[in-house]
Amino acid sequence: MVLKNLSHNEVIVAAMQYESNYSILSAQYKQKEQEVKEAEESAKKAILSIQTLHKQQQALFDEFVLLRQRYDEQKASTGACSLFVNSSYCKNIILEQESFRSVVIHICENE
């Protein structure tokens, strides 16, 4: 905008428009800054939540591995056993673990 060819009133109007535009743009800029700040805070919370979830999943997996090792060790040490009640009459008891909750007992009579 060339100010040499403008009248005094036109210069005042141009200055007022500039100030008005500056105010509008300044307000929009502040609003966008606030939106960016809120988005950054939201992203930080999301990252913290994901990290917490990852730690919980890792702890559950570690606990599962430990329990599985204990189960395998127990199964290896008590997988099958024989019990003799007396020498003349024998009952062979075999314990088989079918699942975590049930144990099946087979009784075989030897003559």
Query: Any idea which residue has 């994901």 for tokens?
Result: 50
Alpha helices in the chain (DSSP H): 8-78
| DSSP reduced 3-state for 17 | helix
47 vs 53: CA distance, rounded Å: 10
Using a cut of 0.75, tell me whether the model's pTM lies above it. no
For residue 93, give the nearest of 104, 109, 82 by alpha carbon.
82
pLDDT at 61: 92
* Number of Cβ atoms within 10 Å of the Cβ of 91: 13
Amino acid found at 91: K
pLDDT at 79: 55
pLDDT at 5: 74
Q: What is the mean pLDDT of the chain?
A: 75
Q: Distances in Å between the alpha carbon of 39 and those of 8, 35, 103?
A: 46, 6, 56
Query: Any idea which residue has 């079918």 for tokens?
Result: 98
Q: Express each pLDDT in 22-69 by its tens digit.
A: 889 999 999 999 999 999 999 999 999 999 999 999 999 999 999 999
Mean pLDDT of all residues in 83-98: 43
Spans of all domains in the chain: 8-78, 79-111
Write out the H or E segment, with its range, that includes residue 80.
none
Residue pair 96/80 in contact (Cβ under 8 Å)? The answer is yes
